[in-house]
Chain A
């Protein structure tokens, strides 16, 4: 087993129950801890964290209900499953209202118990994912979710702030790698929905029927392989934001279903006969020409208007070259932290190469380039040879672009040397005559 061992806390005053439950779960590969009273359980929680707690409702001293409250004060993430005798179902319902994951009545059907614990763990890991996501967002939003001070980016940020206050559907358009998901996350993070999940789904990554069950969820037995009922992404996004990337890729049938969901704010799981109300905001993104897709009847016009209420254009990196140094520095810091590598700066020469390049893969390509340079480069500085990019100048030939870089580089070195030719020659590692020749060749002027 390579997965992290999940841990269970079994709290029951009856030895036989504790004993049989802990054996049952040990054989399932769980790390099991037994407690014979609430006090015992709280002591265990002091020294260890648990994924799931199975708590007997009726115990002498502090009962299950009170223990559940205390457990959640210590760690709100623990899934508490109540075990009750038939007589106390009403109390169990109260436990549910207080936030217990579920309850079971003794004796428990073994199949039911397995499913219950598995579902509890699934929900927990989903919550953790969202938690991590939120941390990432806080991390990023705090200073620089969307790094950039260029006029096009400032305009995007203004739109983000503006639309975040509303609940309007947003369509983010832009080439791939321009950070459309970051913009979506920034909107979510600045909106009143920020304490609920943003649930991203890449519509282009899944085949139609799988996408359908991902989005809408399914009941047990809805199709072959649907062993358990499962919430769809839309339901998971309740009170939060649903982010549909590559929305242009969804099938015509899904377009109809999606439109209906957006209009009614109700989803029906596959195999279910009743819809569920869901409160969510939807943000879509695309790198496709949707208008053209509408014209060619590949994308429904009504859906197009429904999602295109408020549009934000993510500018390509080449449209904001002044942001390249900021972004490069941002990624250097990020990866230095992640890799724990003491690379403290990007050399001016390397920065020159970065700004001269036109970044067809946009911010993602830049991020990859810096990451790669951090891997191959030697501390403390990123040098041009560490970068996987070829500089591209105004003209297209590779030779020309190299010249362009050389020109810019020499100009910068001269600038820094305050046009002291001797110092510039030293920095450049060439003799003074060559420096003069280069100045003449490139027509550089002070």
Chain B
């Protein structure tokens, strides 16, 4: 029985900026933790991704192996992985003060949508990103490692942006622009626009408050 995604939103258990011992963590300095799983041939993307994240958020970046079984999120009817459940698993099995980013090459979905590039807990602690649908070869195009790397970095920064409470930005060049299609991903940059950067700075100077 997979864990209920409701766990993601249960108050107190997450995102409130408190660790299990109740100590208030410093959101400003706690490291970002990358949790890679099912990365397969895309493992080589992790090292450069860590550098990009370090630069984007000015935070130390660590790596942890997954403490859970991703198969619990597999939906055999769809042949895809339920990203809501994966977020819950990440949250449950990785304690600590900072933000968590699951990185995978598994194909992700949320129940009503056909697929997602990534997912995040808005104003919370966990995010998830998949390279699966970012790979040019999947669309019959020639391999382009640099493009793939850039896409993954944008989506990862975008989803982590959500965990800092940022919502979608109307500026199509901003990394927080909504991009349900690849064209949108390629059009935007890996950078926050001025407004989002300000919002991010404000958010980071106070503890996160995951709402229900």
Chain B residues near A20 (CB-CB < 8 A): 84, 110-113
Among the stretches B23-31, B98-106, B114-122, the one at the interface with A is B114-122
- Tell me which residues from 106 to 156 in chain B have a Cβ below 8 Å from any Cβ of chain A: 109-116, 119-122
B114 touches A15 (CB 8 A): no
Answer whether residue B48 sits at the interface, using C-beta atoms and an 8 A cutoff. Answer: no
Q: How far is the CB of A133 from chain B (nearest CB, A)?
A: 26
Answer whether residue B45 sits at the interface, using C-beta atoms and an 8 A cutoff. Answer: no
- Tell me which residues from 1 to 28 in chain A have a Cβ below 8 Å from any Cβ of chain B: 1, 14-17, 19-21, 23-24, 26-28
Q: How far is the CB of A48 from chain B (nearest CB, A)?
A: 16
B178 touches A28 (CB 8 A): yes
Chain B residues near A109 (CB-CB < 8 A): 113-114, 180
Residue total for A at the interface (Cβ-Cβ under 8 A): 23
CB-CB nearest in chain B for A106: B112
Kindly state the separation between the CA atoms of A27 and B167 in the bound complex, as whole angstroms: 5
CB-CB nearest in chain B for A109: B114
B5 touches A19 (CB 8 A): yes
How many A-B pairs with Cβ below 8 Å? 66
Chain A residues near B10 (CB-CB < 8 A): none
A26 touches B167 (CB 8 A): yes
Chain A residues near B170 (CB-CB < 8 A): 1
Kindly state the separation between the CA atoms of A139 and B114 in the bound complex, as whole angstroms: 49
CB-CB nearest in chain B for A110: B180
Kindly state the separation between the CA atoms of A1 and B167 in the bound complex, as whole angstroms: 9
B112 touches A29 (CB 8 A): no
Q: How far is the CB of B133 from chain A (nearest CB, A)?
A: 11
A17 touches B6 (CB 8 A): no
Q: How far is the CB of B111 from chain A (nearest CB, A)?
A: 4
Chain A residues near B112 (CB-CB < 8 A): 17, 20-21, 24, 83, 106-108, 113
Answer whether residue A90 sits at the interface, using C-beta atoms and an 8 A cutoff. Answer: no
Chain B residues near A340 (CB-CB < 8 A): none
Most buried by A among B162, B167, B170, B181: B167
Answer whether residue A111 sits at the interface, using C-beta atoms and an 8 A cutoff. Answer: yes
A24 touches B167 (CB 8 A): no
- Tell me which residues from 97 to 116 in chain A have a Cβ below 8 Å from any Cβ of chain B: 106-111, 113-114
A19 touches B162 (CB 8 A): no
Chain B residues near A21 (CB-CB < 8 A): 112
Q: How far is the CB of B187 from chain A (nearest CB, A)?
A: 11
CB-CB nearest in chain A for B172: A227
Most buried by A among B5, B112, B167: B112
Kindly state the separation between the CA atoms of A339 and B6 in the bound complex, as whole angstroms: 50
B109 touches A29 (CB 8 A): no
* Pairs A–B under 8 Å by Cβ, sample size 30: A1-B170, A16-B84, A16-B111, A17-B112, A19-B5, A19-B84, A19-B111, A20-B84, A20-B110, A20-B112, A23-B84, A23-B119, A24-B113, A26-B167, A27-B167, A28-B167, A28-B168, A29-B168, A106-B112, A107-B111, A107-B112, A108-B112, A109-B113, A109-B114, A109-B180, A110-B113, A110-B114, A110-B180, A113-B112, A114-B178
Residues of B within 8 A of A (CB): 5-6, 78, 84, 109-116, 119-122, 162, 167-168, 170, 178, 180-181
Nearest 8 interchain pairs by C-beta: A20-B110, A110-B180, A29-B167, A16-B111, A111-B180, A107-B114, A20-B111, A110-B113
